[in-house]
Amino acid sequence: DIVMTQSPDSLAVSLGERATINCKSSQSVLYSSNNKNYLAWYQQKPGQPPKLLIYGASTRESGVPDRFSGSGSGTDFTLTISSLQAEDVAVYYCQQYYSTPFFGGGTKVEIK
Amino acid sequence: QVQLQQWGAGLLKPSETLSLTCAVSGGSFTGFYWSWIRQPPGKGLEWIGDIIHSGSTNYSPSLKSRVTISLDTSKNQFFLNLTSVTAADTAAYYCARMVGYCGSPNCETTPLWNYWGQGTLVTVSS
């Protein structure tokens, strides 16, 4: 299994400020034949199922605000919320789909 | 709009079988992979397995010995059975649709999920 480790477990950010979440995979999730990273990010608000935000490490799903961005390659990835809004309070998960799908443990984002 | 509505028993005793149903509406049932994913309280997500309209399945290696996913195309429903449950199986269980489409001759699916059921909390306790 390719295990995903997220950091930090939680963070508190002021409204309008930047939030940065990290995700590290135990092996590379970069598929050499197409140069794509098989890494996705989800947002889960309390009492709701997860919502797909980003795939391919950096491609936003349709309808996702552009304040959400993903970066990284290989084994190290980052989700950035450029200007935190109240509705962004949630737990964020990374997921690799290079092999058997595996999710990170989640990062809880709160308002400071 | 695709909707997934799920239901099943919420309280089980150890050694019993967990059974959940997910009904799909608002879109095609054929050509997509339908999945089950679970989330223990306060923890992360775990992929359980999936099925396509032909009946072909994929299961998580860690759960494969206890899991059966099946479907009824006439009702646009798919099902999860998990045998011999223990407290470690306590979780919110979600049904979901995988991204992509599997037609003929091309099958282009990706194990990401963009449509989800509302979740069913299943508690295993004696």
Q: How far apart are CA B83 and CA B19, in angstroms?
A: 9
pLDDT band at B106 (very low <50, low <70, confident <90, very high): confident
Each residue of B48-88: pLDDT tens digit?
999 998 899 999 999 999 999 999 999 999 999 999 999 99
What confidence score (pLDDT) does residue B109 get?
Answer: 86
CB contact under 8 A, B45 and A61: no
Mean pLDDT score across all residues of chain A: 97
* Confidence tier at B100 by pLDDT (50, 70, 90): confident
Out of B43, B112, B118, whose CB is closest to A55? B112
Condensed to tens digits (0 to 9), the pLDDT of residues A43-73 reads 999 999 999 999 999 999 999 999 999 999 9
Q: Which tokens belong to B98?
A: 């995988």
Q: DSSP for B2-50, please give it.
A: -EEEEEE-SEE-TT--EEEEEEEESS-STTS-EEEEEE-TTS--EEEEE
Angle at A25 between CA A58 and CA B90, to 5 degrees: 100
Q: Pick the residue with more confidence: A69 or B107?
A: A69
Tens of pLDDT, residues A15-45: 999 999 999 999 999 999 999 999 999 999 9
Cβ neighbours of A97 in B, within 8 Å: 110-112
DSSP H or E run through B68: strand B67-72
Total CB pairs under 8 A between chain A and B: 42
In the predicted model, what is the mean pLDDT of chain B?
A: 95
A37, B71, B106 from A58: Cα distances, Å: 9, 34, 25
- Does the structure show a pLDDT above 80 at B104? no
Contact B102, B108 (CB under 8 A): yes
Compute the half-sphere exposure of residue B33: CA atoms within 13 Å on the CB side of its CA.
Answer: 23
Interface touch B112/A52, C-beta < 8 Å: yes
Q: Is the pLDDT of residue B108 over 90?
A: no
What pLDDT, in 10s, does the model give residues B1-52?
Answer: 999 999 999 999 999 999 999 999 998 999 999 999 999 999 999 999 999 9
Q: Is A75 on the interface with B (CB under 8 A)?
A: no
| pLDDT, position B74 | 94
Give the separation between CA A20 and CA A40, rounded to whole angstroms: 15
Q: How far is B116 from chain A (nearest CA, A)?
A: 6
Contact, A4 vs A41, CB < 8 A? no
B114–A97 C-beta distance less than 8 A: no
User: Which residue, chain included where needed, has tokens 């999920």?
Assistant: B113
Strands (E), chain A: 4-7, 10-13, 19-25, 30-31, 36-37, 39-44, 51-55, 59-60, 68-73, 76-81, 90-96, 102-103, 107-111
